[in-house]
A and B are shown apart, each in its own frame.
Chain A
Amino acid sequence: MSFNIIKNRKKFMALSLILIVVGIAAMIFNASQGKGVFNFDIEFTGGTAVTVDMGSEFNNDDLAAVCSEVTGQSNPQIQKILGTNEASIKLQSIDGETRTALSNAIIEKFGLAEDSILSVQDISATVSGEMQRTALIAVLIACAAMLVYITIRFHDFKTGISSIIALVHDVLIMLAFYAVFRVPVNNAFIAAVLTVVGYSINATIVIFDRIRENKGQGNYTAVEDLVNSSVKQTLKRSVYTSLTTFFAIGAVYVFGVKSVKEFALPIMVGIISGTYSSVFLSGSVWYMLLGNSREVFEENE
């Protein structure tokens, strides 16, 4: 059989593992360079962030000098936003007066228009800490609730666990992407992860639904064949759905502004990962989880 996912399951898992390890390596490397595990925005660390449209090419150091002068901070982080002349400035939290002074100084020094200050944000460390916590707790509870529902609907705890493993895989791949490409981690990150979680669970369920149906009809004597055929039968659907969702989010990426792009790109990665994990991993994980009971299952059929 040319289409044998179960037989090749270790290769598929190895590929995922490599990507995740690369992500972890990137996190460790970045942390050792003092740049932080992720490129955290101030929503996650607290502080002040200013986005400025500089109008033309600019030098990061010039801008940093102005920031240091006004705020007295020695190490403002300046980043040029790719494909634009916009600068993103990250500082330790400064008060309202200093914020106004900074905006004015930048406008004056670089001769910019009044509306060149695109956004100003200030978030206290307390709030950013809470935000991480509530987001994490919400996602964990959501996963637990989904696990319960799937277990009930499929009369099988292992199906639920396999689905959640596929989902965690997708989130890990996304995290790896964020770490390697230093995509800013902010509010949009939470929304992107949630979107992929929703997408991934949906993609996986379609496959387990097919397994459930094929199993019920008793067409297959071996679990291996059951999984392989079920994945194969739903393959076209998996690809088509990924494509259409990809179109929708791809358009958002192509046309969107910076904040939208930062949010669309990881979702696109997550959709690819979600498709991959539901097709190549979810059934395999289930197969492996069955373990010894696999034989019992085969005898029963």
Chain B
Amino acid sequence: MKSKGKSVAVLVVLAVVAAVLGFTAVFGLGTDKSLSYHNIKLGLDLSGGVAIVYQADKENVTEEEMADAVNIIQRRLDRKGWSEAEAAKQGENRIRVEIPGVEDAEEAISEIGKTAQLMFLTESGEVVLTGAEVEDARKEVGQVSRNSASEPYVALKFSAEGTKAFAEATKNNIGKPIYIAMDEDIISAPIVNSEITSGECMITGSFTGESAEELASLIREGSMPFNLTVMEMNNIGARLGYNAVETSKTAAVVGVALVFLFMLLAYRMSGFAADWALAIYLALEIIAISALNVTLTLPGIAGVILSVGMAVDANVIIFERMKEEMRGGKTMRASVQAGFSRALPAIIDGNITTFIAALVLYFMGTGTIKGFAYTLMIGIVISMFTAIFVTRLLLKCLIGVGINKPYLYGVKKKQGGELK
């Protein structure tokens, strides 16, 4: 910075940048508070809810079958009104389902994981047709036989192929029952009176309106290409999740305040510049996590803390170097220059090494490890920028506006070089 005026201008700009970023991170933009911490998606360990990992009960599943299964589960989740819930393929033959804010995990598990294989069987156990040949299924209410009261039932409409198969089966089984089974359970066993060629059929039984709707929906959504086994179930109560979030917020505020204070006491003006840069870093980190839609979990928070540590570390390395240079008698400006350039290799090597580790963990690891690695990588990239460039710019400008006594930067007076 050549002139005082220019330094002042840059400082003002950086103050405005910090304020705008800080405001965005805390309050967000617009009514939906986008880009703020309010908008950060919390993992189930923080928000409460149910996570289930299912595994296909079949060898050599194809990509297509897996995609079908994920779609079916997603539709079931949507129908349940769990709009935040997500189903995703995990590894070769697993599906991970996360449902935030659900209280009764057991119900969720059994309903979502149902195979929903609808089958029509003859008395001898021969499969006549399956849910795949059903074109439409809906809940109806009406008389199911002459003289009976009105009750809910499920009306089915077969595809052309299904119509043919059903006609054939009814023709061959007059006077005998046809079993309608869902998964392992026989839900209805009507006796065939005559051949049915209309391609329509009703499933009766002791349905309530709700259970008829449920069955119709399950049939409509299609059946799973395989059975699912629950491999892992994790149900975090809402209270625990709430406590975790609230206490983590307090911890974050106190921890950051302590770090700020420490830097200020240890390095005075440099510490002030570091805190300023750190504030920008924290705001950027929050905005990045929000913007990139990262799901923040406990290990993710660990990644953030480690990157905060590394951001501060970069500044500590730089400032210690600067002090050495000042003691050696260099001018303030030269000390800043030399301090930064000499500290740079250590900072870069340290950060790159950690970044490499994070990258490997991200690609190799599963859930927990991935979350940690992801926030760590984001943190390293941002902190390298703020701890090096922003801090340097701030220091140059602070010196530029005339705050240039070594003792202001933590060098004891007797050690201080010539003031120039």
A142-B357 in contact (CB<8A): yes
B187 at interface, CB cutoff 8 A: no
Partner of B254, one of A123, A209, A251: A251
A195-B306 in contact (CB<8A): yes
- Distance to closest chain A CB from B284 (angstroms): 17
- Distance to closest chain A CB from B359 (angstroms): 8
A198-B240 in contact (CB<8A): no
List of B residues within 8 angstroms of A115 by Cβ: 237-239
A118-B357 in contact (CB<8A): no
A141 at interface, CB cutoff 8 A: yes
> Closest residue of chain B to A160, judged by CB?
B353
Known: A145-B356, A255-B254. A260 touches B364 (CB 8 A): no
Partner of A237, one of B240, B320, B365: B320
Mark each residue of chain A from 104 to 137: 1 if its CB lies under 8 Å from any CB of chain B, else 0. Answer: 0000000000010111111110110001001101
B233 at interface, CB cutoff 8 A: yes
Mark each residue of chain B from 344 to 363: 1 if its CB lies under 8 Å from any CB of chain A, else 0. Answer: 01100111111011111100
Partner of B299, one of A123, A187, A240: A187
A119-B240 in contact (CB<8A): yes
- Distance to closest chain A CB from B259 (angstroms): 5
Partner of B243, one of A237, A240, A257: A257
A145-B240 in contact (CB<8A): no
Known: A121-B235, A255-B247. A202 touches B310 (CB 8 A): yes
A245 at interface, CB cutoff 8 A: yes
B255-A260 in contact (CB<8A): no
A120-B317 in contact (CB<8A): no
Interface size (A, Cβ < 8 Å)? 72
> Closest residue of chain B to A137, judged by CB?
B364
B376 at interface, CB cutoff 8 A: yes
Looking at chain B's contact residues, the main secondary structure is helix
Partner of A121, one of B233, B298, B317, B354: B233
Inter-chain CA distance A118–B306, complex, in Å, is 28
B366-A131 in contact (CB<8A): yes
A263 at interface, CB cutoff 8 A: yes
List of A residues within 8 angstroms of B53 by Cβ: 127
Chain B interface size range: 35 or more
A96 at interface, CB cutoff 8 A: yes
> Closest residue of chain A to B362, judged by CB?
A138
Q: Which residue, of A115, A201, A241, A254, has the highest number of chain B Cβ atoms within 10 A?
A: A241
B106-A153 in contact (CB<8A): no
A199 at interface, CB cutoff 8 A: yes
B127 at interface, CB cutoff 8 A: no
List of B residues within 8 angstroms of A212 by Cβ: 345
Partner of B236, one of A97, A119, A134, A233: A119
B313-A120 in contact (CB<8A): no
Tell me the chain A residues, 253-275 only, with Cβ under 8 Å from chain B. 254-257, 259-260, 263, 267
B352-A248 in contact (CB<8A): no
Tell me the chain B residues, 363-390 only, with Cβ under 8 Å from chain A. 364-369, 372-373, 376
List of A residues within 8 angstroms of B3 by Cβ: none
B305 at interface, CB cutoff 8 A: yes
B328 at interface, CB cutoff 8 A: no
Known: A119-B236, A123-B232, A254-B251. A191 touches B349 (CB 8 A): no
Mark each residue of chain A from 44 to 73: 1 if its CB lies under 8 Å from any CB of chain B, else 0. Answer: 000000010100000000000000000000
Inter-chain CA distance A211–B250, complex, in Å, is 40
- Distance to closest chain B CB from A127 (angstroms): 5
Mark each residue of chain A from 180 to 194: 1 if its CB lies under 8 Å from any CB of chain B, else 0. Answer: 000000011011101
A187-B368 in contact (CB<8A): yes
Known: A119-B235, A127-B231. A141 touches B255 (CB 8 A): no
List of B residues within 8 angstroms of A267 by Cβ: 302
> Closest residue of chain A to B324, judged by CB?
A233
> Closest residue of chain A to B110, judged by CB?
A96
Known: A51-B240, A134-B366, A194-B369. A259 touches B106 (CB 8 A): no
B353-A150 in contact (CB<8A): yes
List of B residues within 8 angstroms of A234 by Cβ: 320
B45 at interface, CB cutoff 8 A: yes
Inter-chain CA distance A89–B94, complex, in Å, is 27
Mark each residue of chain B from 258 to 277: 1 if its CB lies under 8 Å from any CB of chain A, else 0. Answer: 11001100100000000000
B308 at interface, CB cutoff 8 A: yes
Mark each residue of chain B from 98 to 109: 1 if its CB lies under 8 Å from any CB of chain A, else 0. Answer: 000000011001
Tell me the chain A residues, 135-183 only, with Cβ under 8 Å from chain B. 135, 137-139, 141-143, 145-146, 149-150, 153
B353-A201 in contact (CB<8A): yes
B360-A141 in contact (CB<8A): yes
List of B residues within 8 angstroms of A248 by Cβ: 255-256, 258-259, 305, 308-309
B244 at interface, CB cutoff 8 A: yes
A138-B317 in contact (CB<8A): no
Tell me the chain B residues, 29-52 only, with Cβ under 8 Å from chain A. 45
B228 at interface, CB cutoff 8 A: no
B353-A146 in contact (CB<8A): yes
List of A residues within 8 angstroms of B302 by Cβ: 191-192, 194-195, 263, 267
List of B residues within 8 angstroms of A240 by Cβ: 262, 266, 316, 320
Q: Which residue, of B45, B236, B346, B353, has the highest number of chain A Cβ atoms within 10 A?
A: B353
A251-B368 in contact (CB<8A): no
List of A residues within 8 angstroms of B298 by Cβ: 187-188, 191, 259-260, 263
> Closest residue of chain B to A100, judged by CB?
B106
Given A118-B240, A248-B258, 6 additional A-B pairs, CB 8 A = A141-B364, A190-B368, A198-B358, A249-B255, A255-B248, A263-B302
Q: Mind listing 10 A-B residue pairs with CB under 8 Å?
A: A97-B106, A119-B234, A131-B366, A141-B364, A145-B359, A199-B309, A237-B316, A245-B312, A255-B248, A263-B302
Please list the 6 inter-chain residue pairs (A to B) with the smallest Cβ-Cβ separation, ordered nearest first.
A251-B255, A191-B299, A245-B309, A209-B346, A138-B364, A247-B258
